[in-house]
Amino acid sequence: MPEMFQTREKNGVVWSACRLLESPRLLHGFSTRLGGVSTGAQASLNLDHKKDSAANVRQNHLRLAAALGYDARRLVSTHQVHKNEVRVAEAADEGLVLDGPTPYECDALVTNCPGRPLICYAADCIPILLWAEDAAAVAAVHAGWRGTAADIAAKAVQKLVAVYNADPARIKAAIGPGIGPCCFSTHDDVPNAMLTAFGPSVERCIRPDAAEPGKFLVDLKQINALRLQSAGVPAANVAISPECTCCLPEKYWSHRYTKGERGGQAAVIMLR
């Protein structure tokens, strides 16, 4: 069986695409750190405004847009705060990210507007792209551990249902590169948050860290997959990238690996 996620490159910009979301009706991609203009800890395709110049970030957004084939001037961005706010992307939101962080806060976006790309960011957190095929609507979701515990993946599905009358059974989901259970070693606050939120259903996603007694290894990708399924998305409609950002620091930024001295990659989705 072919790999579900495939690496692509154009003009030096490298990203991955998910076979589950491949369609003439849809554009999407998960960026890497490769192919941009930023330097130092943010080298090179940094899309995060926190520690880079606005000019560099703007140019990197333009490069990614040219490679994937969307209009950066119509891009709608998240302004992530590790919560579970899901925002309907509006025309007034388009292009704001090219000049700096957006003035609103949200960790997920939805739209049914063709030609309006949505973007979310990650540097260990889990990026999730959703396509409600029957409703012709999409979502871009940022799921850090706090957002995961706040059930943002399921809430994004619920937003697609409430706003666009999507059928959860027709939604397809791609869970992109993020930190894996190989590297996400935590104290008991993270496991406790997951178990409090979701109960025994997520026990299989948490195990003791044999290398560090008293800590736990948590599989955020799998927890988000389970939460998507709890919202009605069939397991067969959920693809999970095997790539761990912390294991691949030359390809992706990892907040944990760099101890916070890093840029950010992104996930983009757009209805054609």
User: 198 in a domain, yes or no?
Assistant: no
The pTM assigned to this predicted structure is 0.98
User: 208 in a domain, yes or no?
Assistant: no
Which pLDDT value is given to residue 58? 98
Please give the average per-residue pLDDT across 222-237, as a whole number: 98
pLDDT at residue 217 greater than cutoff 50: yes
Q: Which of 8, 22, 11, 56 is nearest to 239 (CA)?
A: 22
User: 136 in a domain, yes or no?
Assistant: yes
Render pLDDT for 21-60 as a digit per residue (tens, 0 to 9). 999 999 999 999 999 999 999 999 999 999 999 999 999 9
Q: What is the CATH number of the domain that holds 149?
A: 3.60.140.10
Comparing 138 with 1, which gets the higher pLDDT?
138
Render pLDDT for 186-198 as a digit per residue (tens, 0 to 9). 999 999 999 999 9
User: 84 in a domain, yes or no?
Assistant: yes
pLDDT at residue 94 greater than cutoff 60: yes
Range of the domain at 168: 5-179+233-271
User: 219 in a domain, yes or no?
Assistant: no
User: 61 in a domain, yes or no?
Assistant: yes
User: 78 in a domain, yes or no?
Assistant: yes
Q: Provide the pairing of β-strand 5-10 with 13-18.
A: antiparallel
Which pLDDT value is given to residue 2? 64
Please give the average per-residue pLDDT across 166-183, as a whole number: 98
pLDDT at residue 133 greater than cutoff 90: yes
User: 133 in a domain, yes or no?
Assistant: yes
pLDDT at residue 241 greater than cutoff 70: yes
Number of domains in the chain: 1
Which pLDDT value is given to residue 1? 45
Please provide the average confidence, as pLDDT, over all residues in the chain: 97
Task: Using alpha carbons only, give the angle 65, 141, 111 rounded to the nearest 5 degrees.
Answer: 70
Q: Which of 245, 228, 230, 117 is nearest to 181 (CA)?
A: 245
Which pLDDT value is given to residue 69? 98
Integer Cα distance of 20 and 212 in angstroms: 37
Render pLDDT for 139-168 as a digit per residue (tens, 0 to 9). 999 999 999 999 999 999 999 999 999 999
